[in-house]
Amino acid sequence: MDTIFKNNEKEEPNKKELIDGLQIVENIISKEREKELVQEILKHEWDTRLSRRTQHYGYIYNYKSRNLNVDSNENKAEPLPDWAISLCQDLIDIGYINEIPQQMIINEYKGQQGISAHVDSKVFGETIFSVSLNAPCNMIFKKKSTTTSRSKTSTATTTSKQEPPQVVSFQVKPRTLLIMRGESRNDWTHEIPKLKITSDTRYSCTFRYLKLQQ
């Protein structure tokens, strides 16, 4: 069983792997369960310190210092809610992850809101996954540019050439599970461009492990 539907909908998941280590699984949950998750999210208060509203669970990541001190009370947040633990347990049961993560952040994206290109901090483990809800978005992955060297034996000189970055872009549909491991997690930046949209508000539930757990 490759999906975690909670009702009688029969929509098969669509799996993609566009980059080494990147798993994209569409239709991971039913539309009914998606509505239930959004309702649960909207019951909680939002953090407004960023340009987009967020909710933090488990631990609060410091975006300025790009650090997380697990021993500091300032970095501790409410435990993951029951609905999030249930979702993760279902993903464990069907083999996408191995254990419950320690941290979750919910990002709310409205209108032209996006997120700049970044690689998630090394304070987090090798597996990062998210479930996208309520509206689609465009996502861009870029692999860092590399420099190649070529030697000219006749003149004993070496020339260097800067290779352009590799770019992979795709649409993330509602109810999509996205898992980053390995190369996609460490060697590629990912971003959501700011586009003028009129669709519904998008919610992204991103789950991370602390290195001490993995």
> Domain of 72: which CATH number?
2.60.120.590
Span 134-146, pLDDT tens digits? 999 999 999 977 6
Domain for residue 107, yes or no?
yes
Q: Which pLDDT does position 105 carry in this prediction?
A: 95
- The boundaries of the domain holding residue 49 are 14-113+126-136+173-182+193-210
Within a domain: 159: no
Q: What is the 3-state secondary structure (H, E, C) of the chain?
A: CCCCCCCCCCCCCEEECCCCCEEEEECCCCHHHHHHHHHHHCCCCCECCCCCCEEEECECCECCCCECCCCCHHHECCCCCHHHHHHHHHHHHCCCCCCCCCEEEEEEECCCCCEEEECCCCCEEEEEEEEEECCCEEEEEEECCEEEEEEECCCCEEEEEEECCEEEEEEECCCEEEEECHHHHHCEEEEECCCCCCCCCEEEEEEEEECCCC
Would residue 144 count as lying in a domain?
no
Q: What is the mean pLDDT of residues 35-61?
A: 93
Total domains in the fold of the chain: 1
Give domain status of residue 153, yes or no.
no
Asked, for residue 198, whether it belongs to a domain, the answer is yes
Does residue 157 belong to any structural domain of this protein? no
Q: Given pLDDT bands bounded at 50, 70 and 90, which one contains residue 204?
A: very high
pLDDT digits (tens, 9 = 90+) for 98-117: 999 999 999 999 877 878 88
Least confident of 70-79, 94-103, 179-188: 70-79
152-165 pLDDT, tens digit each: 555 555 556 667 77
Residue 98 covered by a domain: yes
Average pLDDT of every residue of the chain:
84
Q: Is residue 149 part of a domain?
A: no
Under the banding of pLDDT at 50, 70 and 90, the label for residue 2 is very low
